[in-house]
Structure 1
């Protein structure tokens, strides 16, 4: 059934293209794993999040409180000013025939009794300004300009106080207008005093807010840092445990969270106590695993040792029976040949198991200079005799390459790798053995890692142009009793322990072995430190 939302495109021959396998959706770097949600605080530490959240909340509360205080104070002061304006207007009595100001004209004019010294008055009658004067705080009279009088008349003032900005030296005023006949009297008081008080309060709130923010930020940082130190110690314990080699061998898991950080009355103490309980459980499991491995190794070693003698007896009696002077029937001779062959194979298996058991138990190897060039030369010469249907090549440097190690064990490594190439590749395969030096960083252009030796590495490579190793087998190629007969031709029987022995011996020399294989090119690479 065709998807109606996706057109079907035919190829040049008119046939629909083959279906394309759906690729897995990779979310957040892992298939099927949802990506972590983004956000401005993602990647921040808990300490930073707590400090940031506390400071933001403080700023918001301070802004809201300060804004509310300013608005309330401004309204209260304006209400008081309005009461003064209305009270002042009620004292004024419009007088069309006389001057409501005492004293003579000009600079001798004074505010009427009972009025403040900084009020404004404009009296208009029949379109003419009869009284036009404003007094500053010190009582100095100031004449209103024509523009200011026009602004007052056009402001539509009433008995309810309003704010009018007169500009110049006068600024803003709260004004009311009263009408008596054809006379309109506009009076009011400046808002400068109210504005100054509001500005002072605003500056005070800002100053206290900034100071409080600094104190809160420092105090919160100190308190949170102090509170999270136990959690940091718990995390440090977990980090130290994560660096311990827990995969093999006897592990002493002595790391624990300090007792002071395991108080179950606190959240951090609950985490510390839980981690200690987990470490106790893991320690018990590791000890049980080590004891089980020790018993298994001991059993394998004991069994292998005990089987050597009876296997040697079986093989010896089979050889002795074949040497009888009396004629031996062909079927019996064939059976004796099989007994001798299989007993020899089983003897090799027992020897390999015994060697692995000793290596697993940490048997101390010899530490002496080993000439790898001579070792490869001898091993390839022996391989030529055993595998005449293969082509054997050597790639050796002009100078001798030496490492410190156990010569017998390293010889077995090379012999096992050459035997692996001979047994699992068809006749006519070219097998090349080479040894070379590399610096501390490893061989340039190589995908294999360095061993990390302080004086560089020595690399032994066994390369063949056979059919290659199945990709599914590569991850477990060094496992015990692993056989790759499906991809590579098996010319003869093997124990399935050869590569396991290679890995164990190389690891005992503080090196590592890697494999890379594609059809027509397989390389086993042994990297050993020179020191």
Structure 2
């Protein structure tokens, strides 16, 4: 069974106040109505007793009373003499006396209690009756209508119902207003938390300037305790982010410095290896094979160092030279180079008529295209069709690199653009991949204020790159991925 949506604090407090007011109104009304009815019944019993005493006073007999002093509207009196039929009358609003029927008389004398009791006389309604026995064995009955008691009770109950309903409306409106005012500081705390979630903490400044105002961070109140706790949490997160950023900056500087310093010795190793190979006629076969391995490994390490240095520059936002870049020609030339390097693949370009120009760094965009084409070549078998599609709208250009190869393993997709991410080590080494190509692609796209998406199933893999037609703001261009 599906549970409903949870109630907010505002709703709970408002409904709680309304329920409390309703409970108090019902309780007060019920007690008041019961007390009034009891009081009215006691007064009516007193009136019935007075009529009985007036009737059975000195000199009176077991005869029906008469006279305007005794008979009153709604009065029922009856006499039951042993050996005779019972008789009774009821006075109407006009002052006339009407004989009671046998059924009415039977009901009038049905009670055996000598205390006032309530009976329902057919066609007359509810009455309060008192019976009295005389010395000759006769039974006298006096009853007064309860219409006034019932009417007054109903009126009072209706008044309390209306008053309670009005009080509920006022209480609901007041509770909503009071709760809204009381929870307004909590709303400001929520706004602060929302603004923090909108900060670009992953790629921007590690500092968190947002804080809950002091007025909403007073620990003497419940909302203040929440605000103070949030401020402490933000401070802790900011400290951790600053420390992490400082650590990452050290790592970046180390990588950049190490890459820069390694370029010269690697070039020297490669040069000496090439120089030594020129005298291979005087070297044994094992030495020649060793020199070949030294040269190939120096070439691979040089490529790795160059890519690490390139990533370090992109991380720092350095080396971007923006200008007009004609994408159709750039992509066509890159695909032509890819065909020359890998004629066992089928290469296609689908593009609008030139020019399709964007404002970007031409060298970096060329590197992006070459890396994605090389990725398609290295990780797909011979005969794979690789198609590059270009399109544009008013704001951005879209480059789609699609192939009908085996696809990207599902476990690799979440970390596809991470550094040194490889499907398997043997394949990467066999193809000369360093695992940094797609990381450089992501960094170039981010540096230009664009975005990249990947869709892959067996037989259909697409890298979709979207780049703005115009140069992004300097602030956006400087925020680069880790």
The TM tier, using the shorter chain, reads: 0.7 to 0.9
- Matched with 2:3 is 38
- Matched with 2:76 is 120
- Superposed displacement of residue 255, structure 1: 0.7
Cα 1:338/1:211, change in 2 over 3 Å: same
Find out whether 1:238 has 2:198 as its counterpart.
no
What is the distance in 2 between the residues matched to 1:394 and 1:117?
110
Whether the aligned pair in 2 keeps the contact of 1:469 and 1:488 (CA below 8 Å) is no
Find out whether 1:391 has 2:346 as its counterpart.
yes
Whether the aligned pair in 1 keeps the contact of 2:89 and 2:100 (CA below 8 Å) is no
What is the distance in 1 between the residues matched to 2:462 and 2:197?
33
Aligned-partner SS, 1:514:
strand
- Matched with 2:128 is 174
- Matched with 1:513 is 452
Q: Normalized against structure 1, the TM-score is what?
A: 0.79
Find out whether 1:144 has 2:98 as its counterpart.
yes
Q: Which has the higher helix share?
A: 2
Whether the aligned pair in 2 keeps the contact of 1:371 and 1:402 (CA below 8 Å) is yes
Aligned-partner SS, 1:232:
helix
What is the distance in 2 between the residues matched to 1:495 and 1:368?
30
Find out whether 1:132 has 2:96 as its counterpart.
no
- 1:484-495 correspondence to structure 2 within 5 Å: 484-485=423-424, 491-495=430-434
Q: Which moved more, 1:252-261 or 1:472-481?
A: 472-481
- Superposed displacement of residue 412, structure 1: 0.5
Whether the aligned pair in 2 keeps the contact of 1:469 and 1:517 (CA below 8 Å) is yes
- Superposed displacement of residue 382, structure 1: 1.1
- Matched with 2:107 is 154
- Matched with 1:433 is 387
Cα 1:466/1:206, change in 2 over 3 Å: closer
Question: Which fold has the larger relative contact order, with Cα–Cα distance below 8 Å and residues 6 or more apart in sequence?
Answer: 2
Q: Which moved more, 1:120-129 or 1:508-517?
A: 120-129
Gaps of 5+ in 2: 471-482
- 1:21-420 correspondence to structure 2 within 5 Å: 38=3, 42-93=5-56, 100-102=65-67, 110-112=68-70, 119-123=75-79, 125=81, 127=84, 132-134=89-91, 136=93, 140-144=94-98, 146-147=100-101, 150-155=103-108, 156-158=110-112, 159-166=114-121, 171-180=125-134, 181=136, 183-324=138-279, 327-363=282-318, 365-420=320-375
Whether the aligned pair in 2 keeps the contact of 1:470 and 1:487 (CA below 8 Å) is no
Gaps of 5+ in 1: 1-34, 103-109, 440-454
Whether the aligned pair in 2 keeps the contact of 1:468 and 1:487 (CA below 8 Å) is no
Cα 1:230/1:338, change in 2 over 3 Å: same
Aligned Cα RMSD in Å? Answer: 2.9
What is the distance in 1 between the residues matched to 2:65 and 2:256?
127
What is the distance in 2 between the residues matched to 1:327 and 1:462?
50
Q: Normalized against structure 2, the TM-score is what?
A: 0.87
- Matched with 1:478 is 417
Cα 1:350/1:133, change in 2 over 3 Å: closer
- Superposed displacement of residue 480, structure 1: 0.8
Equivalenced residues, count: 464
- Superposed displacement of residue 347, structure 1: 1.4
What is the distance in 2 between the residues matched to 1:524 and 1:221?
53
Cα 1:508/1:127, change in 2 over 3 Å: farther
Whether the aligned pair in 1 keeps the contact of 2:428 and 2:435 (CA below 8 Å) is no
Deviations 1:472-497, CA, capped at 9 Å, x for gaps? 21221211111223796875212110
Cα 1:130/1:305, change in 2 over 3 Å: closer
- Superposed displacement of residue 258, structure 1: 0.8
